[in-house]
Amino acid sequence: MPEQKLIIAPSILSADLAHLQEEVSSIEPYADWLQIDVMDGHFVPSISFGAPIVRCIQTALPLDIHLMVSNPAERIDEFLEIGAANITFHAEAVAHTEHRKELIQRIRAGGATAGIAINPETSLDSVGDVLEEIDLLLVMSVHPGFGGQPFIEHVLSNVRTARSAFPDLMIQMDGGINKDTASECVKAGANNLVSGSFIFGASDRKMAINSLRQS
C-alpha cells in the first residue's frame, strides 16, 4: 500500500473571525484541507458558524465540514451545495445504523466523502456497523466544543485499533494537536490532523504547519 500522505487541516474555529478571509489566505499555501467546525449549541455547548459564513470563504482548499450538531441530516444539503469535499457527523448524534448509512449515502451522492466522528468517551466498537462503509473516521482527542484544550492521550488506542483493522481508512484526529502531540497521532496511525489554536496562534503559520508534517 503506498505511503498515505499526511493531511493537515487547520480548523478555523481558532482563527480571528473578524478577519476570516485573511486568516484562511494566510494558511492556504501550506495546508491541505480547511476544517469548518459547525456547532449548534446543543450537541456541544458552543455555537460557532453555519453555511452563510462558510459560503463567504474564498479558498481552493477542500472544505472539511465537521458537524457537531444534534441533527446532521438537516445540515448536509446546505454544505453539499457549497461544495464541501468531506462531511463528518458524530456517532453520538446518530445512533441507528440505518440512519448512519442513509447519511453516508446522501453525503456521497452529493459528491463529498463521508466521515463519522467519535468523542473521547465513545468506544470504537460503537461505530463498528459503518467502519467498512465510511471514507473517514474522526477520533476526537478533546471533548468537542472549544479550541485550545489539552490533548487526551487515551484516544490513541482507538486510532491504533482502527489502523490495524483498516489499513486504507482515512483516520483523522482533532483536538489539542501541536508539534508535540502530532507525532504520537501519526505513530498511532492517524493520517489526517486537524489543528486550530496551534496554527492560528502561531506568528509563523507556515512553520507551524510544517512542524506538524515533520511528525
The answer to whether 115 contacts ligand DX5 (rule: CB under 6 A) is no
When asked if residue 114 is in the footprint of ligand DX5 (CB under 6 A), the reply is no
Q: Give yes or no: 37 in active site.
A: yes
**Separation between Cα atoms, residue 195 and residue 178, nearest integer Å:** 7
Which one, of 143, 205, 162, 155, lies nearest residue 181 by Cα?
Answer: 155
Sign of CA dihedral 209, 33, 176, 200: positive
Mapped onto helix, strand or coil, the DSSP state of residue 115 is strand
CB contact set of 57 (below 8 Å; sequence gap of 6+): 12, 20, 21, 24, 34, 63
> Of the two residues 114 and 208, which places its CB atom closer to ligand DX5 in the complex?
208
For residue 185, give every residue at least 6 positions away whose Cβ sits within 8 Å of its Cβ, in sequence order, or none.
141, 156, 159, 173, 177, 193, 215
CA distances from 184 to 79, 82, 93, 179 (A): 32, 34, 28, 10
Of residues 37, 64, 168, 180, which has the active-site annotation? Answer: 37
Whether 174 sits among the annotated catalytic residues: the reply is: yes
Candidates 70, 122, 149, 161; binder of ligand DX5 (CB under 6 A) is 149
Residue 136 or residue 142: which is nearer to ligand DX5 going by CB?
Answer: 142
Query: Hey, what amino acid is at 10?
Result: P
Q: Does 142 bind ligand DX5 (CB under 6 A)?
A: yes
Catalytic residue among 16, 40, 135, 174: 174
Q: Which stretch binds ligand DX5 (CB under 6 A): 11-19, 26-34, 95-103, 179-187?
A: 11-19
- 174 touches ligand DX5 by CB under 6 A: yes
Nearer to ligand DX5, 13 or 186 (CB): 13
Catalytic residue IDs: 37, 174
> Which residues are at the interface with ligand DX5 (CB under 6 A)?
11, 13-14, 35, 37, 66, 142, 144-149, 174-177, 194-198
